[in-house]
Amino acid sequence: MAFNIAIDGPAGAGKSTIARRVAKELSFIYVDTGAMYRAMALYFWRKGINPEDEEAVSAACDEITVTLSNEKGEQQVFLNGENVNGFIRTEEIGKMTSQVSAYGKVRQKLTQLQREMASSTDLIMDGRDIGTCVLPDAQVKIYLTASVETRGKRRFLELQEKGADCELGQICEDIRLRDEQDMNREISPLKRAEDAVLIDSSFMSIEEVVAQILKIVQKCRR
């Protein structure tokens, strides 16, 4: 049986950085489910579909195929055969993703694909609903969070490093809005699974979080 690790948590908590490191340590595949939702949002955006129009978004879902591949340890996301890794990380697509990921048709499509992947492969999967909905039987579940201020500051530094013109207050506000949308939607809202270990990384280094998760995994595998 495949060994599955689920990591959920709000935007900017460091899930992908940490999941990538843990995957490397364990020689597991890392699956970033946010990228799959982002690829779908990119399709709607390119087609000019209004993200508030659930009917139009749902109808377009049947035109989309999302696939993943792993190249040199990095996940590549394909939208109808096109590698879209370079197009999905903008703030605009992030906002649209948060909106359209509330719809049942969008979630259904990706949830099924995610379960198929996890059934046969040892993997670490991160997202919002992995421990609660996609993989309720995952052997290890982590809920990784950090304060809005910490997450905002991390995002601010990241953007500054890329040379982007940004403002800390606005970034914190965007994060708050995203939390609210992701936590209050009707279907599969972001929440901690009852059996998930809570890790607040506000005052922890990446190495400390990775070490804590590896310890939990070791205990489970014994």
Residue 210's closest CA among 74, 7, 51, 64? 7
Contact 106, 42 (CB under 8 A): no
User: H or E segment at 29?
Assistant: strand 29-32
CB 157 to ligand DC: min, Å: 17
Q: Return the range that interacts with ligand DC (CB under 6 A); candidates 34-42, 57-65, 76-84, 200-208.
A: 34-42
122: which DSSP letter? -
CB 218 to ligand DC: min, Å: 26
Using only C-alpha atoms, the chain has a radius of gyration, in whole angstroms, of 17
* 101: contact with ligand DC by CB under 6 A: yes
Q: Return the range that interacts with ligand DC (CB under 6 A); candidates 92-100, 144-152, 160-168, 214-222.
A: 92-100
* 152: contact with ligand DC by CB under 6 A: no
Q: Pairing between strand 123-127 and 29-32? A: parallel
Q: Return the range that interacts with ligand DC (CB under 6 A); candidates 31-39, 68-76, 78-86, 151-159.
A: 31-39
SS3 state at 176: helix
Contact residues: ligand DC, CB under 6 A: 11, 33-34, 37-38, 94, 97-98, 101, 127-130, 178, 182
